Structure 1
Amino acid sequence: MAITVTVVDDHPAILAGVRAWYAEAGRSIQVIAAGTSVDVAWTAPGDQADVVVLDLNVGAERMPYQRAVRRLVDVGRKVIVYTMQDSEEVALTCLELGVCAFLTKSEGHEHLVAATIAAAENRPYLPPTLAGAIAADRGPAQPRLSDREREVLTQWFQCESKQLVAERMRITPRTVDTYLDRVRVKYANVGRPAPTKAALLARAIQDGLVGLDDL
């Protein structure tokens, strides 16, 4: 089944390039809507897309990027930020807001294609800029996780679904959910919320719970 994408960007050359990269990808990826404002994500067929690729500086209103990202994430959209900004602070803020991945436009088409496939399959993806930002940011307070919580967490990062985690560990998907909910609560309690899989992966890497080799 094809992955459908809405692209929000105000540079015609970028839009043309993204369309071409997806068309040449080994996996079927289709841009079904594109525009210069986040409003395109709510205009048919944009509201049917699996993934939204978002530039942070678009739209005539020039809304703060935090508002644009939150608006998409809060309704369950899978968002990939694709921007010229290379600020570690912006990258981490976007991750905390719930984006699936943060890429700079200098990182090349391979990373955008790979991040799009990962987002559609509910898998985290760490391009170089995001990995560097995560590695440079050490959380001030680490939650105390049990060995079992760490094990479930690592398995979840390696699997496409909680069902696969359950099968590997011979537990129920509901038990997987329970462990992951406990981990999220513990992170929230130390002031480091992790609402999404990508954000939770960032926290785990920051705290040395998992390494890139584990993925």
Structure 2
Amino acid sequence: MPETDAVRIAVIDDHAVIHDGIQAWCQAAETPISLVATYTEPAEFIAESVAPQPIDVVILDLQFDRQAPNLEAVRIICERGYRVIIYSQHTDSSLVLACLDLGVVTYLSKAEGRAHLVAAIEAAATDRSYLSPTMAKAMSADDAQTQPRLSQREREVLLSWFQTESKALVAKSLFITVRTIDTHLARIRTKYAAVGRPAPTKAALVVRAIQDGLVRADEL
């Protein structure tokens, strides 16, 4: 049984050794982390209208049965409000950036191993950003090296949050959950940190957004 205060994770990967390895790493972690569900393909997870237990973080591979990376599954799971960490052998920068645009909170190469994965889980569960080496490399290779590339939805969330008193009101106006708002904001902060312009507070994000022309002062 998972500890009541543990971070609850689900793993979606078609290799049993990955399930076993992640479970062992989590059991050895200082922060309590419980593997509460495992799946061998995204369709199994998506088919469940309600997860068997509450899940804080989803660890998701990209490739199953030698097929192309399943970005549609990434999109669906992220849109359902889950905090998703991609854990994949693929490190192509364009793929990493595409996953970030779809809503994942962290992208890890399987070569990065235990320390990075545990740290990423801890960060995702508390709405903090975590910049893995794979993400840093992909973002530095992006053409817009000083201005992060935000998706249209991220821009909508950012502007609405600036204009609204609470995340609950933002969620209501955009027809999404507060948890999804937190996920978007964490990802935006990760993108700014990756280009050397950290924005840890709401005020700092306002400054960055105005500097980058994402919002105008008269919109706030």
TM bracket (short chain): 0.5 to 0.7
Matches within 5 A, 1:22-171: 22-42=26-46, 43=48, 45-46=51-52, 48-58=54-64, 65-139=70-144
Distance 1:124 1:14, change over 3 A: same
* Further displaced range: 90-99 or 201-210: 201-210
Structure 1 regions of 5+ residues with no counterpart?
144-152, 154-161, 163-171, 181-194
* 1:204 aligned to which of 184, 189, 192: 192
Distance 1:206 1:115, change over 3 A: closer
Identity within the alignment, %: 35
Following superposition, the deviation at residue 132 of structure 1 comes to 1.2
SS of the equivalent of 1:196 reads helix
TM-score scaled by length of structure 2: 0.66
Over the aligned positions, Cα root-mean-square deviation in angstroms equals 3.4
**1:63-91, Cα deviation, whole Å (9 max, x unpaired):** 75220111001110110000000111111
The answer to whether the Cα contact below 8 Å between 1:88 and 1:133 also exists between their aligned partners in 2 is yes
Q: State the distance in 1 between where 2:121 and 2:39 align.
A: 18
The answer to whether the Cα contact below 8 Å between 2:57 and 2:85 also exists between their aligned partners in 1 is yes
Q: State the distance in 2 between where 1:59 and 1:50 align.
A: 27
Q: Counterpart of 1:168?
A: none
Q: Name the count of aligned residue pairs.
A: 171
Q: State the distance in 2 between where 1:13 and 1:138 align.
A: 37
The answer to whether the Cα contact below 8 Å between 1:142 and 1:207 also exists between their aligned partners in 2 is yes
